[in-house]
Amino acid sequence: MADNDRENRPSPDALLVEAQKESRGRLKIFLGAAPGVGKTYAMLEAAHERRKDGIDVVIGVVESHGRRETERLVRGLTVLPAKTVEYRGRLFQEMDLEAILARRPQLVLVDELAHTNVPGCRHIKRYQDVDDILAAGINVYSTLNIQHLESLNDVVERIAGIKVRETLPDSVLSTADEIELIDLPPEDLLKRLSEGKVYVPEQARRAVSNFFSAGNLTALREMALRHAAERGDAQMLSYRRTHAISGPWPTRERIIVCVGDDTASARLVRTAKRVAERRSAPWVAVYVETSGHNDLPEPQKDQIAQTLRLAEQLGGETVILQGEDVAAEVVAFALERNASQIVVGRQGRKSWLRLLTGGRSVTDRILAQSDAFDVLLVGGEDVEKPNKTFETRSPEQTIPWPSYAVAAVGVGLATGLGSLIDLWLPVPNISVTFLVAVMLIAMKLGRGPAIFASVASFLSFNFFFTEPRFSFAISDSQNILTIVFFLISAIIVSNLASRVQLQVDASKTSARRTANLYEFSRKIAAGATQEEVLWAVVHHVAATIRGKSLVLLPDGNRLVIAAGYPPEDQIGDKDAAAADWTWANGRPAGRGSTTLPAADWLFLPLKTARSPVGVLGVQMAGQEFLSPEDTRLLEALADQAAVAIERTTLVADVEAARLATETDRLRSALLSSLSHDLRTPLVSILGAASSLINYGETLDARDSRDLATTIQDEAERLNRFVQNLLDMTKLGSGALKPNADWADLHDIVHGAVERSDKLLRGRQIKVDIDPKLPLLCLDPILMEQVFFNLLDNACKYSPPGSLVTVWARPGRDQALIEVCDQGAGIPEAAREKVFDMFYRVEAADSQSAGTGLGLAICRGIVEAHGGSIKAEPGLNGAGTCIVIHLPLGNPPKLDTAEAAGA
């Protein structure tokens, strides 16, 4: 009754999804196989129909591509103006998301859902804009070509030979509220193309010779039809769950085949494959793992694993369910998958227990519960043995005589304890002693010994405690009823106790498996490098399977061992061939599989949704096949390992891309700086020198001196630039090391001021250094270069006649130094970037351009001294102050003679 009530209730998950959709707009996608099939045209036609119904419809963006029919349908609809976005000196038109959200229409048309926005828009992709629109409660009509789905990207590339750059996640299509397939046969599309209704003639000719071939269009059309059908099927299942419709709607053939632990299961799988192939239907092999699964002997577990592997090799899906009522689980799964047919095996003769209890086999129970399905009953010689996995009791196995002996001893102890109780309590209470003994035996030894203990307890109770005693005869009819109910109670208790214990064992196994996966995920998440991740993978997998493991990664055109535990540096030729096959085909190979089983290792692919990343090899000591639970666990570990390895690879790729970008930026900046900062002084030098040569005799002494001064100034400027380049090179290579000594900051600053005399012309300089500032341990030459660069920078970016200040004070353990100007200042966003190589703040035309190296050199020298440097706004926000912190030390004290000489 509870199961029926559950089936007749709507799915909570489905109701939650529907509730979440209530506050959002609805998305309808017009799906097509290729450009030109009429998606935009159909969308506009539908929009006109909605407008006639009084719906407020606006066009967010529609790409007509010059098609007159499309442009004609645009008329009569409100078109929101596009937003102009500037990118790399060009202007682009993009959908104005903000205007749509402000306008809040009831329906907005957004063409080309997979479009990539120009940088500067709110989102990178247009489908993200659409998500914002839907979140605002606005309905959206959009268009999409099937080749833009991310999961089909590699398939489309193989078919058409063209890499589609603009893609979107499959979840966008799967979460759409409605999909309308716009279908057009390839012949009609090619005709439209030749008539110029898709592209202009020149583009049409290129399209036909490349993407728009009949074969490509047929393949794309098939993919579009399949995805539309699958989406419709998913919507139907969602509708059934939401409205609590229990029965299947077999709109599409689906085959479910039940497999167990006997050889008959292989026949069932092959039969299901043939049936599914004839009907072009998907099929699923289902195994129900009951609480007694752990008690199965290893040969039967291996048989289950082989059967499931056979199903996968034949192209079926495999599913392992957990539950006690096998028939109920199979029927429930068939309902969930909307199956049309269930394939089961014919059961053999009824066991004596089922004959006595009137119990039915799983096949009988499935037949009784499957009014909504077709059931295919498969017989044959190899099905004579009943499929014991379908029974609610444990499969037959070798009798555990020690367990039965312990059960007999337990009954004997209960009998002895009952004799003691008989001295003080009435006889009926003695039965409790036997029930407790049966329950303990069931919990510790299992169902078989527990049933044996129940029968033995029944006989012992009858023989020792009912009248006449020491005889199996029963004189009192009341005792007959007592011992019969005692036997029934004992059997029920033994079954319940053993089942509870099996469920506890299954829960422990599941908890261990979950803990294993959690521990593994924690280890690989902690790995920062690929080496750390690989070590965590091989060590954990080896511990899990109690064997050996290794990971092979591609190196050019071959696989190499990247990690192994215990350490492995080579594998045999058979194993190498199995690993190569796994890498090439993405399926397991090697020992225990059907491909290259002679190998000593079993290899599993390490692959993600993005691409394969490597191969995982495992070697189990003395074990030919993996059990289903071990297989699932190993596959889960392999999936997590693949994601972790890909993560480290992506990190390395991102870092390499960042370094390449930074290198290109520095190269471009260097070339720009060289072309400007070398050419400018050279032009001045060449101009002055040519004037002296050509007109030297006619020039007076003053003009000649001015030209010579120009040559000297520009040569000094050129020398400073070359020196900066040399200093920067030394800093980058670590060759520039401070030759530290105790020095007076006054002397260093005054030396820099004297060197900057020509640069400071027309500007005021103020040096304010606290006389109490002690000697500093630094390289005087390098620090003088720092102050020279700062003064040079201050002169370049401050107006003539302004004040440049050098200020220094001692702190607790640092000397605080500031070089301030009264220029335009540095924007807050650029105050950190100005210390990067070749970075220059955009300046007015009247200001001298810097090389972008001076402040970078200052930072390198200051940090080499253990200090820090930063840019801050000047007093009252005017100008810029470069603030330097240098460590204070304890300068050596001069002796009396040195002090007197000083």
**Segment 90-131, tens digit of pLDDT:** 888 899 999 999 999 999 999 999 999 988 888 889 999 999
Q: Which two structure tokens, joined as six digits, stand for 461?
A: 């109770």
**pLDDT score recorded for residue 731:** 59
To which H or E segment does residue 83 belong?
A: strand 83-87
The pLDDT of 599-627, averaged and rounded, is 82
Higher pLDDT, 681 or 36: 36
Residue 490 pLDDT more than 70?
A: no
The model scores a pTM over 0.85: no
The pLDDT of 755-780, averaged and rounded, is 86
Predicted confidence band at 805 (pLDDT cuts at 50, 70, 90)? very high
Q: Which two structure tokens, joined as six digits, stand for 330?
A: 């199979």
pLDDT digits (tens, 9 = 90+) for 806-855: 999 998 889 999 999 988 888 888 888 888 877 777 654 444 455 677 78
Task: Specify the 3-state DSSP secondary structure of 89.
Answer: coil
DSSP state of 805: E
Most confident of the following: 351-360, 455-464, 553-562: 553-562
Q: Which of 126-130, 295-299, 358-362, 696-700 has the lowest mean pLDDT?
A: 358-362
Higher pLDDT, 398 or 499: 499
- Tell whether the torsion through CA atoms of 604, 609, 611 and 614 is positive or negative: negative
To which H or E segment does residue 84 belong?
A: strand 83-87
**pLDDT score recorded for residue 851:** 61
What is the Cα gyration radius of the chain?
Answer: 42
Spatial contact of 249 and 237, defined as CB atoms under 8 Å apart: no
Residue 611 pLDDT more than 70?
A: yes
Beta-bridge mates of residue 884:
817, 869
Predicted confidence band at 483 (pLDDT cuts at 50, 70, 90)? low
pLDDT digits (tens, 9 = 90+) for 218-253: 778 777 777 676 666 555 555 555 555 555 555 567
352-379: b (≥16 Cβ within 10 Å) or e: eebeeeeeebbbbbbbebbeebebbebe
- Omega within 30 of 0 (cis) for the link into 605: no
Higher pLDDT, 858 or 669: 858
Residue 476 pLDDT more than 70?
A: no
Q: At what angle do helices 780-796 and 701-733 cross, to 10 degrees?
A: 120
E-only strand ranges, 509-611: 548-555, 558-565, 589-590, 602-607
Spatial contact of 723 and 781, defined as CB atoms under 8 Å apart: no
Measured CA to CA, the distance from residue 298 to residue 608 in angstroms comes to 32
pLDDT digits (tens, 9 = 90+) for 268-298: 998 898 888 888 788 999 998 876 666 677 6
To which H or E segment does residue 182 belong?
A: strand 178-182
Spatial contact of 776 and 888, defined as CB atoms under 8 Å apart: yes
Residue 756 pLDDT more than 90?
A: no
**pLDDT score recorded for residue 395:** 39
**pLDDT score recorded for residue 80:** 92
The pLDDT of 147-173, averaged and rounded, is 78
DSSP state of 429: G
**pLDDT score recorded for residue 652:** 72
**pLDDT score recorded for residue 2:** 41
Question: What is the widest separation between alpha-carbon atoms in the chain?
Answer: 154
Residue 325 pLDDT more than 90?
A: no
Q: Which of 216, 215, 212, 167 is nearest to 190 (CA)?
A: 212
Q: Is 845 exposed, middle or buried (0-12, 13-18, 19+ CB in 10 A)?
A: exposed
The pLDDT of 342-349, averaged and rounded, is 77
